[in-house]
Structure 1
Amino acid sequence: MGPVLIALDWGTSSLRGFLMEAGGSVLEQRGSPHGITNLPEPGTAGFDAAFEALCGPWLERWPGLPVVAGGMVGSAQGWRKAPYAECPADARQLAAAAVPVEARRGTRILIAPGVVSRPAGAAPDVIRGEEIQIAGALLLHPELATGSHFLMPGTHSKWAEVREGRITGFRTYMTGELFAVLSRHSLLGRLMTEAAAEPDMAQAAFARGVAMARAAQPGELAHHLFAARTLGLTGELPGAALKDFLSGLLIGHEVLGGLGAAGAGDVPLVLIGEEELCRRYAGVLRTFGRTPDRLLGNTAPPGLFHFATAAGLLAPPQEASR
């Protein structure tokens, strides 16, 4: 079957394009380093040039294909800002809040919004890109729509709740960014070496950090962080293993907080993201007594397909197959 959609997962550091057929499968995939912070030239022209370089050959062969995009391309630093849809949100709300931008060649690109959560008595929280991943997971696994929790680890890890097919709330944990800042730009990093620890030593140091977090009392993270220095000063851990300890400590504290906010395990817990990172989080979750129900890879392509269908750019897969 021929292509019916070009879907763009446009993040901070990279751009990925997917040529998709009517059933939602990816026919061809292309990648580019031209994320929104690494464009071939500044401003709008840079977005246009990155889009043309990636998708021009597809559009030359199949002119008129609809194009959708999700991720940071819709942020304030993106091609065009797509204001956040309000929580609770599903693919229909995302489609209703989407904004178009026109490329130099005349192609109209529909940009998905992020989602904002405004819990009573707490600061607002936002996601941008993860809402598309969740939409993709629900398209692939409709049984998760009734009720589920999604964990998407990364620089800014997201823990989201879905009820009746809608994102009802989420929390952001700056775990990856904290690790980068503390290991590179703080006192803690001075004893850490560039050389990696031996696998067994690294695993033991990581597990030690997780165990410290698991035994934590409320508010102890700032105190525990100093152990990433004192364990090196006293010789209990070599410099090569201190990063592993810090990683385990930060992920452990994230999981402690995330599971506490998610409550009892009465609905599936699903991991979405890069395989190795998800496996690491899955191991930490098991340490805390919670085994994830599914580990999913990149669900952005089906999520963008779901978004395009909700926006009326495509017929639903069951209708397209008739």
Structure 2
Amino acid sequence: MLVIESPQQLREAIKQFKQQGKAICFTPTMGNLHQGHLELVKQGQKVAPISVVSIFVNPMQFNNADDLKNYPKTLDADCQALEAQGVDIVFTPSSDVIYPNGLAVQTYVEVPVLSDCLEGELRPGHFRGMSTIVNKLFNLVQPDYACFGEKDFQQLAIVKQMVIDMAMPIEIIPVATVRETSGLAMSSRNNKLSEGDKRKAPLLAKVMNQLAIDTQNNTTQHSLLIRDACHVLEAGGFDTDAIHIVDVLTLQAVTPETKQAVVLMAAFLGSTRLIDNKVVSICTNKDFTL
């Protein structure tokens, strides 16, 4: 496995694989890897013989300087896990390499509408930073495929749209959320939970699954379903941040034409923010109310 810090060295390595006619699958990460990340790599290895993973904590997508400073860095362990998984290249650039002139004058990429709603309202600039770094990494790696987890549902939707809008010859492969045996979605943030909070955490997925069933059955107004879900979470020790039921394609309010909706969950346990989501098919009609 090659561990590369220089974009030029990365380009040279990629060029050799391209000359050999080998397809490349790329998985961008911010490190602190867990089984969910490795599942992205595994799925990518099913479609392409060459696997490239990046580890880069992107300062452009952080709203809080302390969050950036405190983001866990486990590069040695990450590289060991990736090598065991059979990854060919790990790209580990520094911020100075990626943004040599600083963030203030950095060209950026922004996907309108999809980036402005939901999480985009709560974290201004976050998705612009994400789109920019993914675009830049795509330019460097030139992959044929790229794997993104469905747990970050809005991020996945934005990347899909960016690839379409920018006419990139890259197939985006969505990878299902990997869960603990308790049902909790795997996340680097789970490591921050206290033992007590780890016991409470599975409630988020349980409430989400029930909310998805209720949404699919379409038994009442979505606002009432969300209100009840918030009450259950808060009774279980959560501080609900946001729950949404939106159209899968537009990430906007469900309409009579909506075929699939996605239940999006975000809630705090202590200072740790957990997210999850579930897609459901729904039957709407002209009399449907939110």
Please say whether Structure 1 and Structure 2 have the same fold, judged by a TM-score greater than 0.5. no
Tell me the TM-score normalised to structure 1 length.
0.27
> Which is higher, the Rg of structure 1 or of structure 2?
1
Tell me the TM-score normalised to structure 2 length.
0.30
